């Protein structure tokens, strides 16, 4: 869900996704965790990747959210809100 949220703002390469998550307060994400998740999301059709030339180094993949990914993000966000509501309700109604 976090990767999809980052890509909902703008397309990014893997390092840019990782930096956006760190900027949001998460611990640094290792490539061994991030890139398999990107492959899975690409296989699901939630994101697409295109190679982009770089002026300062080798070409890199830039990931972009698809309409399928946007729907997936909306579904996951609704599930997250329901979960948080349930957590907040624990212990209130006895």
Counted domains in the chain: 1
In a domain, 21, yes or no: yes
In a domain, 32, yes or no: yes
In a domain, 75, yes or no: yes
Which CATH number is 75's domain given?
A: 1.10.10.10
Work out the angle between the directed axes of helices 2-9 and 14-23 (0-180°, nearest 10): 100
In a domain, 94, yes or no: no
In a domain, 93, yes or no: no
E-assigned strand segments in 1-94: 12-13, 47-52, 60-65
**SS3 state of residue 30:** coil
Question: Are 63 and 13 within 8 A, CB to CB?
Answer: yes
> pLDDT tens across 4-54, in order?
999 999 999 999 999 999 999 999 888 899 999 999 999 999 999 999 988
> pLDDT tens across 59-94, in order?
899 999 999 999 999 999 999 999 999 998 887 765
Element (H, E) at 47: strand 47-52
In a domain, 78, yes or no: yes
Range of the domain at 17: 2-88
């Amino acid at each position: 869900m976090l990767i999809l949220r980052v890509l909902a703002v703008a397309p990014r390469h893997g390092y840019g996704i990782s930096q956006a998550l760190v900027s949001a307060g998460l611990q640094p994400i290792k490539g061994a965790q991030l890139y398999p998740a990107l492959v899975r999301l690409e296989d699901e059709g939630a994101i697409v990747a295109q190679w982009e030339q770089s002026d300062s180094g080798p070409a890199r993949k830039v990931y972009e959210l698809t309409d399928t990914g946007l729907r997936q993000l909306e579904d996951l966000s609704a599930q997250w809100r329901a979960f948080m509501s349930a957590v907040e309700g624990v212990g209130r109604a006895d």
